[in-house]
Each structure stands twice: as C-alpha cells, then as structure tokens.
Structure 1
Amino acid sequence: MELSTQRLLLQPVTAADIPVIHRLHSMPETDEYNTLGIPGSIAVTTEVVNGWCNDLMQKVWSITLMDTREFIGLAAMVFKASRFSSAEIWYKFDVAYWGKGFATEAVEGLLQYAFEDLQLHRVEAGCAVDNIGSARVLEKAGMQREGRKRKVLPIRGQWSDNFMYAILEEDYRQQKGR
C-alpha cells in the first residue's frame, strides 16, 4: 500500500532499500533515542529489513520526497490483535530533514490511513522522554500524551523512560472537522 502526502511518498520497504536504510540506521544522531542501535554491518540491516517484510502484523514504508524521490526516512505501523482495532506507529528521519515538518506530515499521513482507510479505533506512539523533537511531532499531529513508562527502553546500555502518546478515531474526526 503506497501512501502520499503533499510533499512525501511512502512506499512499502523492499530489499532494494537496504543500502539507504543501513545509512540511516548508521547515523549517530538518528540512533540517539533508538533501541535498535547502530548496525554492525549491512548484513544486520538486511536481517532487520527482512524481518519487517515478513511480519504480517506491521507495515513499514520508505519515505521519499515527492518531487525528487530522494530517500529521507522510514515510517511503520505495527498492528495489535484485530479485536483492539489499533496500531502503534514509529518513524525515523535522516538528520538533514529534521525541523522541516516532514515527520509531522508523515505522521499525519499515517493517521489518515489508519482512521480513514483502515477504520482503526486507536493509534499509539512512544518516544524516549528526552526526545523532545519526537514528542513535538506527535503533539503537532494531534496525539495526546497519556503517560510515562519507567525504564522501558534499552538505549546504549541504559534504561530510559518512555512517553506514551495516542489518538482515538473520535479525536481525529473532531480535529479534522469530520
């Protein structure tokens, strides 16, 4: 399933994306609040990407600029059991594209897909408490901070707290005036 926003194209990740994903995952700035860690080799990245592609409970997209098709990041939706009608989203962007509204635009596109196409009830996201940029993205996209999980994220050998965010379908409809 391909998604698009005003400036972005989100396409399902394939094996052809492994080199750019490896480069993204190897950036110290993008790893600062990530539990995955910097991959030791492209073989590690290949294993991660193959896992995503084979996991029926999640969709992972490569994010490119609409006009140039330049790779700028990743986004994903991990589905809960169907009876919960919910999913968790995550995203990761090349540092050169931070602060330009692309992450917020991608999250808004994921929310539109979740609520308008999939008819989900709830979408969640989390971020390390020190990841102020990601918290702002989630809040600008209309998600509400619901709580804090203590020492749940293993980041570079330390345990970090995590803020939990969510938006309900009714919140989304109200924000969109629908």
Structure 2
Amino acid sequence: MSRTTPAPSAEERSKIRRVLEDRLTALARAHQVPGAQLAVHYGGMTLAVETGVLDVDTGEPCTADAAVPIGSITKAYTATVVMLLVADGDVELDDRLGDHVPELRRAGPPCTVRQVLSHTAGLPSGPDSDQVASLTAARYLLDHCTDRTLVMPPGTDFSYSNAGFVAATA
C-alpha cells in the first residue's frame, strides 16, 4: 500500500515558497553564486524559486523561465554512479584519479576521486561546451586534466570543474 502526502494548502505553499526563497538566496550569497534556481516536488506539487542574476555583467535576473545549460545537473547523477561503485568496493574515494582513468595514468593530476567529486581536485572549469563537442573524451582529458592544467594544488581549495566530471565518467 502506498502512502501519499496530502497537497499543502495555499497558505502552506506560500510559507514553503518563502522558506525556499530565503534559503536559496542565503546559500547563493554564502557560496558567491550569482544566480540559482531550485525546484522541490512535495505533496503532489512542484514549487520553483530563483534568486540572483544569470549574468553579473548584464545584471539579467534569474527567472523561472531562464534556460540554464543541463550539463551541471548531470554532475549529481555522475556522483551517484561513482558512489555506487564505491559502495560496491570497485572504487575508493581516496584512490588517485589516474588509477581508474587510463588516459590520466601518466600525465594526470595527483588528485583523488573524492577531490574530483567535491570540486577540490584543482582541475580547471573546462572549455565552453561548443569546444567540447569537437573533442573525444580522451583528447578532452589530455587537454584539460593534467598536471599542467591545475589551477591550484589538489585538496587546497574549491574550484568548480566540468573537467573533473568528464574524467569521472571516463
């Protein structure tokens, strides 16, 4: 027998929306994110909120209709699959990335799987998506995930990295 959560009343939805907006705005500020969107499905309905701007140069606001590239959404799925491999004992979080990615065995950065998943591997953000389309995964990794491309020593700070998640899927 399945149990369903009753839909919240209009007043409850309004309260939940305010809490979500406040929390999203606080998190965006704390993490210096210029803009963000959040959607939560609860009680048979979806509440969506947004905060900040899409582009700091133009000041264009982040709205519900704003199109955001899907790429970063896939990072949660990639991390989930990697964690399933960890749970199965096939990968250890403190394994070096090159232990699992053949292209990075010789010239790869000295970072761990944990550092890649937490964006602390020191890897660059990566090229724009229009540049990526013309590269094989191996070429991408050799061009963007090497010792010479590090933006900081692994484990020393946060640096959002698309390149790291390309490596995690390899």
TM-score by length of 2: 0.23
Between Structure 1 and Structure 2, which shows a larger proportion of strand residues?
Answer: 1
The structure showing larger relative contact order (alpha-carbon pairs under 8 Å, at least 6 residues apart) is: 1
TM-score by length of 1: 0.23
Q: Which has the larger radius of gyration?
A: 2
